[in-house]
Chain A
Amino acid sequence: MSLDPRRWFAVLLLLATSSCSADRPGVTPAAAASAEILVMLPIAPAHFRAGTNYGSGYDEQAGRSARRRVALDLAHTQDLEVISEWPMTSLGVDCFLMRVPSERPIGAVLQALSRDPSVAWAQTLHAYQSLGHNDPLFALQPSASAWHLAEIHAFTTGRNVSVAIVDSGIELTHPDLTGRVSVSKNFVDASTYAAESHGTAVAGIIAANSDNGIGIVGIAPNARLMALRACWEYAGGSATCNSFTLAKALQFALSNDAQVINMSLTGPDDKLLGLLLDAAQSQGVAVVGAFDPAIADGGFPASHTGVIAVAADNAPGNASTVRAPGRDVPSTLPGARWGFVSGSSFAAAHVSGVVALMHELAPSMAPRQTRDMLLSATVTINADQAGDRPNGARTDVYAVIARVANACSCVFLGNSGAETMSRH
């Protein structure tokens, strides 16, 4: 790992550009996306109310109006503009997106708001980027052979497991995704729902239909996808998201019983998003994130506690990353097409599919247990021992599924570098 020339190149690139604030592809600037902030007001715990307004929960009428009044008062005192709002019921806070006039320093505004007793906390709006780029080469799904995908599908296909894809727009009419998307929602206020390449490719890897005579086979071809568009794409296929759009999508996933959440994106640590990921895990939802090879700990959310961080087989990772194919992976693209994609975004999609496979067999497996099983099946491969296989690491997904299905007891030969698995 320490001799990996790509890693040194990334370090040199980091040093060379560290004095500039230029964006690097796949890496997010640490500063706020724009002059917008998020202000969180507490939601009192929900309770019995007299009166005949039946219905409950986050829609709770009078409380929401009262909080909006408080937000407008705060905005007026601080000379801000309230743009949008979304209750994060899993955290007990109502999140208000506010615009700061350009002449005011954001830091001072955040400090002033944080001192107000009616504010739970205020934070910057961060920007997030997808990890991956289209790079078509040749026509084989790496997971098909490496993971014995067809044999796995005899045990499980992720039937009825709900996977939330928090990403750019998925092409709902793609022929290889027919019947797979159970709900689609757009959380990007600035644009309407659109079919975009990153989200569509992630969806295809996770759940493209099998045995339909066309295209590819998803890792979990019977999973139910929630297409949550929280990111938008510019020309070139790289997608951008922000703290607010991601938070709304995460809250929606939690309120609508997602069992797995796929986040193939990277960016800075974020308090609101971190708390939502914690809430997800305490509700038993597994969160899969893509490891950013340009950041030492993989970036956020990959490095957040409990998140299943995934790196591509031949790319940098660390001792806590699960491995999956991430180079020249065939997948679905908008326009009813297929193409090849590369990057840890797509390695993460593979693992979200695997978690869905595991959940069909063991629906109540806790996220921690899922993560531990996948990490325990990850072995480092040394180039000089493996012939045509280059340096890297592999996760033996077949063994994980077999173990969950109690169909075999498998032995891993770990750090000795040998790759043979014996099955009894």
Chain B
Amino acid sequence: MSGIVSMVSDYRFRGVSLSNGQPAAQLDLGLDHETGLYAGLFASNVRLYDESSSQGQALAYAGYAQRLRNGLNLDFGASYTGFSDDSVYDYSEVHAGFTTDSLDGHIHFAPNYFGQSVRTIYAELNGSRHLTDNIRLIGHAGVLKIVSGSLSDARPNVDARAGVEIALRAIRLQVSRVASQGSTSVYPVSGRQSNDAWLAMVSYSF
């Protein structure tokens, strides 16, 4: 069992702010079994359409991972995301991908993304590179495509992130820049949020 608690200045999910540009507190718990089965729970506070009130989001996931002889890890699994007040936005998703020392990539498929009656595919690539033992660069790129449903002619949403992370024993400090482009109408968030933002995060792992 392992966990991370974090404070983020803005909860950006696939390039979109789910906290309406405001800080959020987050918890990430994970359980790994020696057979390769894994499960976890992620929770955060979010601010959806109605900007003044905050509610909780919980994402529960489980899957199976396998390490190959050459050091490559493959995994697949499923997740369910629920919102404490607006359960109409609850949705499930499946994922599959790979992880190595410095790179990971996954594809996600949701049959009813954010309860919007659309099917989506999200593909992402994450990487990191150490500058020193305690400082590393992190990068992320992702694209969300609506493949069927009322919004399927909307432009794909591309999001990217680049930043620096400093580790001090169990504490991590991260500063990054997030940028996104494309349609965000599938997300139940205010249309007035910015596409690009600076983010700061501090987290403690246990």
Contacts and interface: CB of A to CB of B under 8 A. Distances in A.
Interface of A: 42, 44-59, 61-66, 69, 89-90, 92, 254-255, 279, 282-283
B3 A57 contact: no
Contact of A50 (B8, B59, B100, B205): B59
Contacts of B99: 45-48, 56-57
Nearest to B165: A55
A283 B33 CA distance: 26
9 contacts: A50-B40, A52-B8, A52-B11, A54-B126, A57-B103, A62-B205, A66-B206, A255-B102, A279-B69
B165 to A, nearest CB: 7
A57 B102 contact: yes
Contacts of A54: 126, 128, 138-140, 161, 163, 176
Nearest to A279: B71
Interface in B44-80: 59, 61, 63, 65-67, 69-71, 73, 75, 77, 79
A234 to B, nearest CB: 27
B42 interface: yes
Interface string B109-139: 0000000000000000011101000001011
Given A254-B71, A255-B102, 17 more contacts: A45-B99, A48-B61, A52-B11, A52-B13, A53-B201, A54-B139, A54-B140, A54-B176, A56-B126, A57-B99, A57-B104, A58-B101, A65-B206, A66-B1, A66-B205, A279-B70, A283-B70
Residues of B in contact with A, size category:
35 or more
A62 B101 contact: no
A90 B71 contact: yes
A163 B98 CA distance: 28
A62 B28 contact: yes
A44 B33 contact: yes
A50 B28 contact: yes
Nearest to A282: B69
Given A48-B95, A50-B42, A90-B71, A66 B77 contact: no
B39 to A, nearest CB: 10
B3 A47 contact: no
B28 A48 contact: no
Contacts of A58: 101
A282 B70 CA distance: 6
A45 B73 contact: yes
Contacts of B104: 46, 48, 56-57
B190 interface: no
Interface string B6-41: 101001110000000000001010101110101010
A47 B72 CA distance: 11
Given A65-B170, A66-B1, A66-B2, A57 B67 contact: no
Given A66-B1, A254-B71, A47 B77 contact: yes
Given A66-B206, A90-B71, A92-B67, A52 B36 contact: no
B34 A56 contact: no
B203 interface: yes
A52 B201 contact: yes
Contacts of A283: 70-71
Given A56-B103, A92-B67, A282-B70, A44 B34 contact: yes
Contacts of A255: 101-102
A42 B32 CA distance: 11
Contacts of B71: 89-90, 254, 279, 283
